[in-house]
Structure 1
Amino acid sequence: MIGDGMGITQITAGMYSNSNRLNLEQFPVIGLHKSYSSDNLVTDSAAGATAFSAGVKTYNGAIGVGADTLPTVTILELAEAAGLPTGLVSSSSLVHATPASFVAHNRHRDNKEEIAEDFVKSEVDLLIGGGYRYFDRRSKDERKISAELARKNYLIDVFQEKNIQQIKPDVSKNYLYFTADGEPLPYAQGRDYLVPASALAPTFLDARDTKNKGFFLMIEGAQIDWGGHANDSEYIISEMLEFDRAIGAVLAFAQKDGETLVIVTADHETGGYAIQTGSRLNAIQGAFTSDYHTADMIPVFAYGPGAEAFGGIYENTAIFTRMRDLLRLK
């Protein structure tokens, strides 16, 4: 689970705005990762997510490629090759930097229509996020990528037709739910799917795991970052609290299941966010040093089998290596 732009202050502001409690407090193991990219001490989401997905330091803007622009094999692709069900859920579009870095390979994050094409080459069992226009109303060509995915055994729902709470996907098919035409709304403006999607996703993938090998799932709380870019403390807090509820939904599955490792981290901090003098519980006064990312080390929370591997201080690329080793992927 990746809270994009979620540094220590974003977590603290969410906690102090929620009567001093978060689901994150249930995690027994906490570490710190070094977030820099290959070409900048301040990473972006594309390089940060590629470090998690593929275990390489790469340049800012890179999607599933190394510093030499050559494709890198991702943890999701390794899991697919080993027969594990896989899933991506995000409160951004599916072609946005973080989810894209697990399934696509492109020289730059802005090539969203090219990134959408890579989804056809993959076999991700579950996809929930925005970006319908990059698949079906494209500017570069008239490809209907959704139709191509439907021919690959995907059941597809679109946001205008069905609410996430109504969804009961057929586990015999891959499932794709487009939550928005472009980028989804902020939580405060009505987006409400991240928590129910986070409850649905592990249950769906577990049901698809007919060989009892386990599954790989990435869930992103994308818009904590957008609140930081906007220097909007209330935006950050509302997104942080929604993401924490999503964490609670996944933890509930893991606690019942007893065999699921949950890792929560961020790609970077955004905004140089600080809590000012005069703040009180449930009344945070925030301040910012930037409208971009910062180079802070980033917390990593782990719960479940193998959690102890995520304590300490290490490179962001080590998260890939440790996930790969725990899943016994080659």
Structure 2
Amino acid sequence: MRNFLMRNVRQAFLLALIIGGFTFTGNAQNEYMDPANRKLQETYNGGDFYPVKHYQQNTRKKRPKNVILMIGDGMGLAHAYAGLTANGGHLFLENFKSIGFSKTYSSDNYVTDSAAGGTALACGEKTYNGAIGMNPQKEPIVNIRELAEKKGLQTGLVSTSAITHATPASFIAHQPSRNMYEAIAADFINSGIDVFIGGGVDHFEKRKDGRNLSEELRKDGYQVLYNMDDITGVTSGKLAGLTAPVHNPAEPERGDMLVQSTKTALNILTKNKKGYFIMVEGSQIDWGGHANKTPYVVEEMLDFDKAIGAALDYAARDGETLIIVTADHETGGMSINEGDMSTGKVVGEYTTGHHTGIMVPVYAFGPGAERFTGIMENTDIQKKIKDLLDL
């Protein structure tokens, strides 16, 4: 009875907001955060299972030559277990034997946003919600990708959101607000990054200042391409893959874009003898959590896990690559109250349409993986990578 009453109260509250004309001032980049889209409980009824391969971790090397940091935006334990259930009880994540937890609070809030969370992972310092590569005093902080560039490693970013969105932006830009999308896009110029693939064409080409950043990138030697057929054909050189005006569609509409983008980026970066650093983001796990849509969460989680599988294939073969899989925060306060491993059915329920403050998982595979066990600050992840790569 208590749960029934609480659900009615929540639904009445949301209805009152809508009828009362409550509006959101954020732009279209953040429409997925609108609580009016929430549902307190939804069911994923199951789908096709994909095979999960098991990889042996090479333990001969103590330090990695390459690092692949994979961020499932909004991914908590429930999101991961929802994906595992939906795929008949197995994920590529099961290959990761070194497992820890990360504390995600920001400098000004118990519950972080993706900007502060991304900056902590990229720069190793906690900052205020909304900051991109800036400390609480609004001073730029060097990020791990920039440090890798200075040492001669090649670098890349891949995202299913706009490449200018908070998490990927934290690895490229230094801006006081995550909403400064055109300024963030401008930070790609002269950044030294070798490969980036994601949405956000409009922030590069339809700008208030009249600049066409895509033309500037071409002059700097980048292949600027707009569809996955062209992007996946690139095997060398600098690549800017801009796949949507702003954000890419949800899965399954966008297909295997994340897997193909990950493979393409790794094919290019592995040619560098000094090594590489890449961040790959499964952006829309978070959006499914915001909307409290279990099918959305599950489909995005499975898509992210397939990209993890692609990364594992590289890491297991060369024995010199460390993969870290984590999240910037948990979204939705998701729990799983019913499921079926044999059919893939998942019944998810949620406590909020926003982020929560709970710890998120950290998984590691490859040389140095043992350093990512136990409970740690989110800022420790950057520091551990920095130390392992001797940056």
Interval of TM-score (by shorter of Structure 1 and Structure 2): over 0.9
Report deviation, 1:137.
1.0
Aligned to 1:313, which of 348, 351, 375? 375
Identity over aligned pairs, percent: 50
Q: Which runs of 5+ in 2 are unaligned?
A: 1-69
Structure 1 distance, partners of 2:220, 2:254, is 32
Report deviation, 1:199.
1.7
Report deviation, 1:170.
4.7
Is this contact kept in 2: 1:136–1:145, CA < 8 A? yes
Is this contact kept in 2: 1:185–1:191, CA < 8 A? no
Report deviation, 1:328.
0.4
- 1:49 lines up with 2:108 in the alignment: no
Corresponding residue number in structure 2 for 1:79: 148
Structure 1 distance, partners of 2:177, 2:241, is 25
Structure 1 distance, partners of 2:238, 2:296, is 33
Q: Match of 1:279, as an amino acid?
A: G
Structure 1 distance, partners of 2:110, 2:254, is 35
- 1:144 lines up with 2:206 in the alignment: no
Query: Which has the higher mean CA deviation after the structures are superposed, 188-197 or 316-325?
Result: 188-197
TM-score, normalization: structure 2?
A: 0.80
Return the index of the structure with the highest Cα Rg.
2
Q: Match of 1:280, as an amino acid?
A: D
Report deviation, 1:203.
2.1
- 1:274 lines up with 2:343 in the alignment: no
Q: Match of 2:279, as an amino acid?
A: M
Corresponding residue number in structure 2 for 1:91: 160
- 1:220 lines up with 2:288 in the alignment: no
Runs of 4+ that moved beyond 6 A: none
Aligned to 1:158, which of 217, 226, 230? 226
Report deviation, 1:279.
2.6
Structure 2 distance, partners of 1:85, 1:74, is 14
Report deviation, 1:121.
2.8
Q: Match of 2:339, as an amino acid?
A: S
Three-state SS of the structure 2 residue aligned to 1:239 is helix
Corresponding residue number in structure 2 for 1:250: 311
Aligned to 2:249, which of 185, 199, 208? 185
Q: Deviations over 1:204-259 (max 9, x none)?
A: 1011x1xx321100000000000001110000000000000000000000000110
Corresponding residue number in structure 1 for 2:259: 195
Aligned to 1:290, which of 352, 364, 370? 352
Three-state SS of the structure 2 residue aligned to 1:177 is strand
Report deviation, 1:191.
4.0
Report deviation, 1:321.
0.3
Structure 1 distance, partners of 2:264, 2:190, is 24
Structure 2 distance, partners of 1:93, 1:307, is 30
Q: Match of 2:91, as an amino acid?
A: L
Corresponding residue number in structure 2 for 1:169: 234
Three-state SS of the structure 1 residue aligned to 2:270 is helix
Report deviation, 1:317.
0.2
Structure 2 distance, partners of 1:124, 1:94, is 13
Q: Deviations over 1:172-209 (max 9, x none)?
A: x21111111111000132343101111222221011x1
Q: Which runs of 5+ in 1 are unaligned?
A: none
Aligned to 1:301, which of 349, 359, 363? 363
Is this contact kept in 2: 1:112–1:134, CA < 8 A? yes
Q: What value does the CA root-mean-square deviation take over the aligned residues? A: 1.0
TM-score, normalization: structure 1?
A: 0.95
Is this contact kept in 1: 2:71–2:325, CA < 8 A? yes
Structure 1 distance, partners of 2:308, 2:143, is 23
- 1:16 lines up with 2:81 in the alignment: no
Three-state SS of the structure 2 residue aligned to 1:91 is strand
Is this contact kept in 1: 2:113–2:130, CA < 8 A? yes
Structure 2 distance, partners of 1:89, 1:305, is 23
Alignment of 1:219-238 (within 5 A): 219-238=280-299
Structure 2 distance, partners of 1:121, 1:69, is 21
Structure 1 distance, partners of 2:389, 2:336, is 39
Structure 2 distance, partners of 1:170, 1:218, is 18
Corresponding residue number in structure 2 for 1:260: 321
